[in-house]
A and B are shown apart, each in its own frame.
Chain A
Amino acid sequence: MKPAAFQYHAPPTVEAMLELLANHGSDGKVLAGGQSLVPTMNFRLARPAHLFDLNTVSELDTLRASADGLEIGALTRHAAFHKPVIDGPLGVLLADVVQHIAHLPIRMRGTFAGSLAHADPSSEWCLVAATLDAQITARSRKGARTLRGGEYFQGIYSTQLREDELLTAVRLPRMDASWRCGFYEFSRRAGDFALGMTLAALRLDSSGRIAEARVGVGGIMDHPQRLKPVEDALVGQVSDAKLFAAAGDIASRSVDPMGDLHASAEYRRDLVRATTRRALERAFAQGAKP
């Protein structure tokens, strides 16, 4: 339970960090909250030769709400979202989702961007980024590029991020009052990684019909994914219990779940039916949080 030897670096600036990544990125890891990386190193499953401490790069400790949306700097901790950080449905949604992430001591350390960089298939923030199609800024010494949450996740612990790149910020789009959001997660114990979860974000037109639907599931497949058949079934409809039940059935049929020690594929398929229907119900529950 002691990590293998590594060289520790504490770069003071993003530029210095990018320099380190350019030189040692293939053989190093960025340390943010360390809530996944450090246990992996203690088990010696990860043996990076270099550890780049992001915690000294204070310019990334930012969280800004603007007219366009929310910009989350790479050092923003999970706990920053305990209260809504932006007006409207998005802030309330994030405050609900964060309650499902592990336990308080972990939320005080772990970071939003670190979750995206790690890309656990059961990570709540990864589901948020994939479903809301976050804009993810990746910087290297060669320049900056913007990745889209819908394409960024490629598999278990696998993303579009390159070895020399640093994930510096994530942008989530602002949602106005025409949006309804709902989240439902099932785990064995409070704070465990999800065995299955659904995030639903729906925009209503002036007549109350669903004009736009974003429905994503996490913990089911090797990375979080939106379910187009479910979204198609919802658009143009008026919300009601039958519609949600039908959406749950479609979700259950349209996933290709993984089976592992924690849950079989068959069980995950069952869970998707329940989590999808319940996420939709929560989105429309009168007076309830999303």
Chain B
Amino acid sequence: MSWIGRSIRRFEDQTLLLGQGRFFADTAQGALVLRFVRSAVARGAIRSIAKPEGGTVFTAEDLAEVKPIRPILHRPDYVPIGQPALATGRVNHVGEPVAAVVGVDGADAEDWADRVEVDIAAEDPVVDVDAALQAGAPKVHPEAPTNIIVEGLSRTPGLDAAFARAAQIIEIDVRGRRQSAMPMEPRGGHAEFDPRTGRVTLTTSTQMPHVLRTGIADCLGIAESDLRVIAPDVGGGFGQKMPCAPEHLVLVWVARKLRRSVVWIEDRQENFLAGAHARDQHYLVRAAFDANAKLLAVDAEMRCNVGAYSCHPTSCGVEPLMAAAEFPGPYDYQEYGARAVGVVTNTCMMAPYRGVSRPVITLSVERMMDTAAKRFGIDPLEIRRRNLISKFPYTSVTGLVFDEGSYRQAMERAAQKIDLPAFRARQQALRAQGRYIGVGFAVFSERSGYGTPAFAARKMAMVPGYETVEMAMDPSGFVEVRIGASPHGQGLRTTLAQIIADEIGITPDKVRVIHSDTDATPYGWGTFASRSLVLAGGASKIAAGQLVQRLKRVASVLMEASAEDLDVTEGQVRVKGTDRAMDITAVARAAYHQSHRLGKELGPGLRESATYDPGGTFSNACHVAQIEVDIETGGVRFERFLAVEDAGVLINPMIVDGQVHGGITQGIANALFEELKYDESGNLLTTTLADYLPPTMLEVPTIEIEHLMTTTDASITKAKGVGEGGAIGAPAAVINAIVDALAPFGIEFFEMPVTPERIRQELRRAEKVRAA
């Protein structure tokens, strides 16, 4: 019986549902409290910082020995920017940490922080990405005179010719506004100083414990082994908890300086101000189609606002370089030009956020398809049929190799489930009553589970990608798996146990996954980029296979049979074709306690390790949003949301559904609700949950999911990553649906979020045109 493919309950849930989760702040009773004094000015020179008498206050002067965080890309176009632990001489965005104070509790720390007087000579900031690119714009960093700190260029030789022979050229101007990943638990950490060893244990809300340790140790100039990083339960990351941030450096430095335990618990307002932001991209897209509506070429400029700094460890290249490489998506065309720039501004630093550029890519591509369909007078599905890739492996114009997928099938299945002709009839009937419903499609690919080759292509100095697992069967026959991935909601303790159980022939409850502690796990890259199940799952499968071989070799000595004649299944080692069998637990016991019988070559114990570093695999989906627009208020109500989704073999379908639900919810947030707004002076206007509006359960519809399961050889478990797809496809589907609903008014949207106010603004304009 296979455990793979079964929706067994998550081993993680009982603890969380009973309120017994242990988050970093739960560990910090009795610790001193660290509070940051943050810049209220977007850009300027620090004239003075007056420390209150009797306070424990640190500024950049005190931390002179701490190196700035400076991620490196080995690219000639990349300008490395250092991010200081505390603002040094100048401030570059509102919310930048300027000083750190220590109090006996939170209120005391805030009292001290209130008394630190910071005098900054304010200068005109640059906030908007387009403004930052203009000649004469303020220079955020002197070393980047154009404000561009990374620039990806690509251009096929036949691009101009393709545009010259085009029957139709579509030009669109697309914007994805600024968001926060907004984890439920803001950032923070508890740095415990051990006076006996001088070691610090940092218990912190992070997605990448090992990488964070590297980042902190590098900047503080200490041995990595003098720092232990633990990620306990983590209340959401979504990318925001990848970076090693200035606050982490200060926290560990202060604990070492004071030789005390110190906690920093970020509040929501700080998280909005200085926890990394996301998106804020402006794409200018031209597409050439032939007379049959076949896409010939795309020429695009992607302007990515990266904020004031380049985020650790990926660098700010992650967004623009991904935008340039992945723009073609699941559509077939051979001529392509891209200029993708990362632009610094006096705003909070950007970090990758679930989807990374692809929500804006997919919005661009899917709006482009609908716009072209309208121009050609053909159905939106028909134009996609003519252009979707369907032969695999497919090598894209940017050199990405797409493994087997179901792009076309997913779309056809979705259209069938929606019953498009019936919807169109109802749409016509309702329009006569002054009601406006619409349907929107989004077809997309999700690159997932990629190893070092993909990251090395970005020329990162730190190349992530592989995952290692160390696996041991203990004398009681239970399996301990130590992984470098760092699950924080993905359910890896359950899904890895399912994979390992199948491979070894035991039940998942005999598998313990140990993770997120640098003292207890092999070096690994944590959890991000839809990778952990593919990578850690693949490595687990390999290690478990090795463990089975070792079990057989041990058993062959004990049972006096040839290892080739043994099978391991249902908790037993059996001699094929006989009734001779031995419990795995007895074999395990003997491997440790009767090792003298095993000989020198075999030796004691049952311990294996494996590393997996694949090229990557693409999952795919078609999302369909069905909505109604209230033309008087601009309100949008969901009738239906459908995802036909293909993530290959599903290890645990319930967990996959959870990923799809969560991603689509964040996609709906992106499409309709969430927007971080700065004013022209660089003040963030949206710093509370009354101003920044994540949707609640009441705004998110029931999400219908159907799974196709295309098998692939690109992943050793045949499972594809599925962490980001929901967030990638949903915005385009929702916005295409709004445009479809408002078609009688001739209104188009090429930006997100589409708020009720923006809908009314366009309707007013349309009403005026009509009246004129």
Residue positions of A touching B, CB distance < 8 A: 1-5, 43-44, 186, 188-193, 195, 261-264, 266-267, 270-271, 273-274
Contact = CB atoms under 8 A, between A and B. Distances in A.
A261 B677 contact: yes
Interface string B698-740: 1100000000000000000000000000000000000000000
Contacts, number: 66
A190 B696 CA distance: 8
Contact of B673 (A44, A188, A271): A188
Contacts of B761: 266-267
A261 B764 contact: no
A281 to B, nearest CB: 12
Contact of B698 (A189, A193, A261, A263): A189
B107 A44 contact: no
A121 B52 CA distance: 39
Given A2-B106, A4-B111, 11 more contacts: A5-B107, A186-B635, A186-B756, A188-B673, A188-B756, A189-B696, A261-B691, A262-B691, A263-B757, A266-B764, A270-B760
B764 A270 contact: yes
Given A1-B269, A2-B107, A273 B632 contact: yes
B698 A3 contact: no
Given A270-B632, A270-B764, A273-B632, A189 B269 contact: no
A154 to B, nearest CB: 23
B764 A1 contact: no
Interface residues of B, number: 32
A114 to B, nearest CB: 17
20 contacts: A2-B110, A3-B107, A4-B110, A4-B111, A4-B114, A186-B635, A188-B693, A188-B755, A188-B756, A189-B673, A189-B693, A190-B696, A191-B698, A193-B690, A261-B677, A263-B757, A267-B760, A270-B633, A270-B760, A274-B632
Nearest to A3: B107
Nearest to A248: B632
Chain B binding surface SS class = loop
B268 interface: yes
User: Which of B107, B630, B760, B764 has the most CB atoms of chain A within a 10 A radius of its CB?
Assistant: B760
Contact of B757 (A44, A193, A267): A267
Contacts of B107: 2-5
Contacts of B699: 189-190
A4 B677 CA distance: 28
Interface in B748-766: 755-757, 760-761, 764
Contacts of A193: 690
Contacts of B110: 1-2, 4, 44
A4 B107 CA distance: 7
Q: Give the 3 A-B residue pairs with the shortest CB-CB distance, closest first.
A: A2-B107, A274-B632, A1-B267
B685 interface: yes
B626 to A, nearest CB: 20
B693 A261 contact: no
Contacts of A1: 106, 110, 267-269
A188 B695 CA distance: 9
A243 B268 CA distance: 47
B697 to A, nearest CB: 9
B770 to A, nearest CB: 16
B698 A190 contact: yes
A85 B383 CA distance: 60
B686 interface: yes
Nearest to B697: A190
Contacts of B756: 186, 188, 195, 267
Contact of A261 (B634, B635, B685): B685
A264 B686 contact: no
A264 B757 contact: yes
A173 B498 CA distance: 66
A189 B114 contact: no
Q: Which of B114, B696, B755, B756 has the most CB of A within 10 A?
A: B756
Contacts of A267: 634, 756-757, 760-761
B695 A189 contact: yes
B63 to A, nearest CB: 25
Nearest to A278: B632
A212 to B, nearest CB: 27
A188 B634 CA distance: 10
Contacts of B111: 4-5
